[in-house]
Amino acid sequence: MFNIADITSIADYFVICSGTNERQLQAIADDIKTEMKTSGIKVLGIEGYNQSKWILIDMGDVIVHLFDTETRLFYDLELLWGDAPKIPWETTAIP
């Protein structure tokens, strides 16, 4: 995750992750959308869902980028936003 608040006005954070295939990327996007709805966070838009090479989920202050491996390497957002501070991702165990 990158804190981009001081670099651009489009969002405060970018989350960048990969999936191995179309179904997995769509499942991740679906789960994010469900979790955000449950948490009361509105998803403003989802782009690229049907093609599933690069799915962008816009939640206003947070933008999630879901990539297949080839597309992630091609666009290399980590390099493009490399000046932004990286925030360690914390996970929680699912019971």
**Cα separation of 84 and 65, whole Å?**
16
**Low pLDDT (below 70) residues in the chain:** 91-95
* pTM score: 0.86
Residue 92's pLDDT is 65
Helices (H), the chain: 22-38, 69-75, 77-80
